[in-house]
Structure formats: structure tokens, C-alpha cells
Amino acid sequence: MREILYRHALREAFDEELTRDENVVIMGEEVAQYNGAYKVTEGLWEKWGDKRIVDTPISEAGFIGMGIGASMLGIRPVMELMFWSFHSVAFDQLVNNAANVRYMSGGKCHCPIVVRGPANGGTNVGATHSHTPEGLFAAFPGLKVVSPATPADAKGLMKTAIRDNDPVYVMESTLLYGMSGPVPDPADGDFTIPLGVADIKREGTDVTLVAHGQSVLKALDAAEILAEKHGISAEVVDLRSIRPLDQDAIINSVKKTNRAVMVDESKPFCGVSAQIITLIQEHAFDYLDAPVKRVTTLDAPAIYAPAIEDEQLPTANKIVDKVLSITPAKV
């Protein structure tokens, strides 16, 4: 299978959906002539023109609101936020409006909008540009939230998100845009990944690591260390979709391994990991041989200094230490 970059997988998804459906448009700051802040939309404006690839003013409240209104009239907008940290500027539109359109119209109106962009730390851009708000948006009924960790997942989930009739918020990572990985060739058929289906990125028997987004890569690195140095077989469950959430995949894995560690770049208080721990407690408590643990970002604003921010985030070594606190080493 061919390998392409994460950003190219997203671009390929956009190009295919622009071709498939004339109602798909891409809007955001610098997405057209400038090719996107992270070059995700590079080349699309030259191919599709001003009516399909639309640069917007620096006004998230304005262009997100415009996208929501357009989606209610049959357009399928893909809206780029340069950083998901800018969500607070358009919070009323993202949460109060988009999430409630279908419910408050009795199902007569839909809001098929995709809002996407980077939501991560680790790039030394300060506290106001380093938010990971996936847990925040997942808390609102009516919204769907996904966080792809690989190029293939980025493409497959994005195509599904664009076709969905509800708002889907895609949390990407600037640290993943330049990562390459296998992605099915368009010549082999239409490639999509359903929302709400997790993926077992690595099979294991001794402990379950549950992660999403770039934390999946940290979990995979930790699983490799655990196997090589400690003889521990770790299973890595990639959520891919946070809401809807694949509860069965999580619970079935924990029932198999009897131990679990959450890996979550979100803040610990009211985070995604806290919700999953509650699910495990409610549905797999009798299968646990040790308390459920988690590795998250430190509960503080993102630190600007590179060396210190690296220590603030989940790392493979932190995950290994947490696993060893509940799992006996075999070597």
C-alpha cells in the first residue's frame, strides 16, 4: 500500500468529496491562495476556484456562523480553524447553534458542517494556542467529535464527517501533519471509516492502553518499550471517534487484559479519560485486577518553554511507569 503524509490524506479526502458532491465547500482563513496555514488545502483553490475554496476574514464567529447557516440550506461546508484554541471566539455558534439545530427544529433542519483544525500542545505556541477541547465539545449532545491519529484514519474519518448530516468537529495535530503512513489508493474504491468505531492499533493481553490523536503514537511507543524491556503485552485501543464513542471496544479489551491505563493529552479534570474510566468502572469493574490509571497533560496552562512543555505532556516513559505501577513485569 502507498504511504502519504497526514496532510496529504486530508487534502485527498477534500478533493474526492469536492468531486463527489457539488455542495461541498471549504472555508477558512488562508485556505485558498495561501494553501492553508499548514498547507492542508494546498492546490485546491487552483483546481476548484473561488466558489468552492473560500478565504474568510479573521472572524471565527462570523465565518463559523455563516457556515452553519449555509449548512441549513443544503451546503456542506468544511471550516478550517487555524487553531482549535480559537473556538472560544465562536463558542455560541459552535455549541449553542450547531449542536441544537436538528433537535430544536424537530428534525426538519440539519447542520452538516465539519469544523477542523489542530488541537494539540507540544509546538511551543503558548497557552492561548495549545488547547485540546475534544472533551469539551463531546459534552454537548448533537455534536460529533473525532481525533484521527494516522493518515488513513484522517482520510477515512474526514470523508465520513463531510457526508454526515450532523456537525462533526475534527481535532487534528500539527505534529501529525508531516507524518506518513499507509492509505488506500483511490483507485481501489471509496475509502471511509464510520464514526463511533475504535481501532485496535496493537493487540495485547496484559494491559489496555486507551488513547486518541497523537497520544496513540505515545501509547504505541510505550507498548514497544513494555514488550522489549518488561515482557508486558499492551493492547492499544485508538478511540478515533470520541463521540460517538465505541464503548464495546474499550470494555471488551479491558475484560481481556484486566488492567487499563488512559493516555490523554487533554487536561485531567473532566477530561475524555475521566469519562472512559467511569465507563470501565460501571461495565467492567469485576474484571479489573488493579485500579485504572491515566496519563494526561499536567493540569496547568500550556508552558511556552520547549523543554518544560515536553515534560507537561504525556510521554512514552510516563506511560511505561504508570503501567508498571499496576502490572507485574515478566522479565
What is the tens place of the pLDDT at every residue in 236-257? 999 999 999 999 999 999 999 9
Strand 234-238 versus strand 199-202 pairing type:
antiparallel
Is 60 annotated as catalytic?
yes
pLDDT of residue 112: 98
Is 90 exceeded by the pLDDT of residue 307?
Answer: no
What are the sequence ranges of the domains in the chain? 3-188, 199-324
pTM: 0.96
Q: Please compute the mean of the pLDDT values over residues 15-26 and round it to a whole number.
A: 98
What is the tens place of the pLDDT at every residue in 96-107? 999 999 999 999
Q: What residues have CB less than 8 Å from 238, skipping those under 6 apart? A: 149, 153, 198, 199, 200, 201, 211, 212, 216
Alpha-carbon distance of 131 to 118, in angstroms, equals 9
What is the tens place of the pLDDT at every residue in 49-100? 999 999 999 999 999 999 999 999 999 999 999 999 999 999 999 999 999 9
User: Percentage of the chain surpassing pLDDT 90?
Assistant: 93
Q: What residues have CB less than 8 Å from 128, skipping those under 6 apart? A: 85
Domains 3-188 and 199-324 alike in fold: yes
Residue among 60, 80, 134, 235 flagged as catalytic: 60
What is the rounded radius of gyration, in angstroms, for the C-alpha atoms of the chain?
A: 20
Alpha-carbon distance of 8 to 14, in angstroms, equals 10
The CATH architecture that domain 199-324 belongs to is 3-Layer(aba) Sandwich (3.40)
pLDDT grade, residue 26 (50/70/90)? Answer: very high
Is 90 exceeded by the pLDDT of residue 331?
Answer: no
pLDDT of residue 99: 97
Residue among 12, 16, 87, 129 flagged as catalytic: 129
pLDDT of residue 306: 87
The CATH architecture that domain 3-188 belongs to is 3-Layer(aba) Sandwich (3.40)
Q: Please compute the mean of the pLDDT values over residues 123-128 and round it to a whole number.
A: 90
Is 283 annotated as catalytic?
no
Spell out where 29-88 has E strands. Answer: 53-55, 76-80
User: Percentage of the chain surpassing pLDDT 70?
Assistant: 100
SS3 at position 106: coil
